[in-house]
Amino acid sequence: MNQLEQLKALTTVVADTGNFKQLAQYAPRDATTNPSLILKAVQQPDYAPLLRAVVAAHPDAALDEQVDRVLVRFGCEILCLVPGRVSTEVDARLSFDTGATVARARRLMALYAAEGIAPERVLIKIAATWEGIAAARELERSGIRCNLTLLFAPCQAVACGDAGVRLISPFVGRIYDWYKKQAGAAWDEAAMAGAADPGVRSVRQIYTYYKRHGIATEVMGASFRNVGQILALAGCDLLTISPELLAALQASEAPVTPALDAAAARTADVPRVHYDEAAFRWALNQDAMATDKLAEGIRAFAADADKLDELIRA
């Protein structure tokens, strides 16, 4: 078997793309999208007509509703090609507004329902700010399943678990990027590869904590920079992977071995912790990497949301 097939025997493989025409060749179970991926897709000739068709069908809708309709249209196309779930992201510009995030999530789910999509096939992606986690807690209680994204710090993972979030997406590659940039010329790529990669270590820490304390929230490693990072997390609940790296896995027949062990994690000596709002904000503030990357990620997704707005206006 190639590496992709071997990985699927250990981990649920998810495609990280808005380019749904690529999905069939990799046969992932789920797919994830984000504002940047959707923006990239709608600027391609294959997908530009889809954007125009959605806007033309709802000319009197407010701009934010038109955006949500575009996101749902992409989600519906993806769900025709995968047997599982699609993640659709709430506008990143609402990352610090619990009420607005809840309202936007409910509208996305209503739009999916109008297309005949069952609620269990959709995950609402929300940035893992304190306000975003609070929104997810409320949504989960009403049966709307959430994927908390832009997750870099243990305190974010702990708070998500306590909120009963269905799934989290810790960002391996962006953690790696931060530490590599900080190290500069002193960075030793070989020494910091595999299990030593700081992004990989972060996901393993979260995975162990969840399994040790029986937390049902699924862990989905995300934002990979290379195949080595993916293989170092073989056995994680899920891994969401770009088409480029899916192709690299498919092209190799090198062996894939389990890297995470749920049974071993359940016996780990890891204390249970909890955060109220003040403790959460302090813990996040004390983690320079997480503070930097969370803010940077929200800004980047917000900038792409602005660009998508401009395309729809045009």
Q: Which value, to the nearest 10 degrees, does the dihedral of the CA atoms of residues 86, 53, 297, 174 take?
A: 60
CA distance 269 to 287: 22
Q: What is the DSSP letter of 222?
A: B
CA distance 301 to 295: 10
Residue type, 168: I
Category of 158 on φ-ψ map: left (φ > 0), alpha (ψ -120 to 50) or beta: alpha
Terminal Cα-to-Cα distance of the chain (whole angstroms): 47
As a residue count, the chain comes to 314
CA distance 125 to 34: 8
> For residues 259 and 203, is the Cβ–Cβ distance under 8 A?
no
266, two tokens: 């359940």
185, two tokens: 């010329």
Q: What are the Cα distances from residue 234, in Å, to 223, 238, 262?
A: 15, 9, 12
* 80 three-class SS: coil
Category of 214 on φ-ψ map: left (φ > 0), alpha (ψ -120 to 50) or beta: left
* Residues marked as catalytic: 125
- Which residue's structure tokens are 């709002």? 277
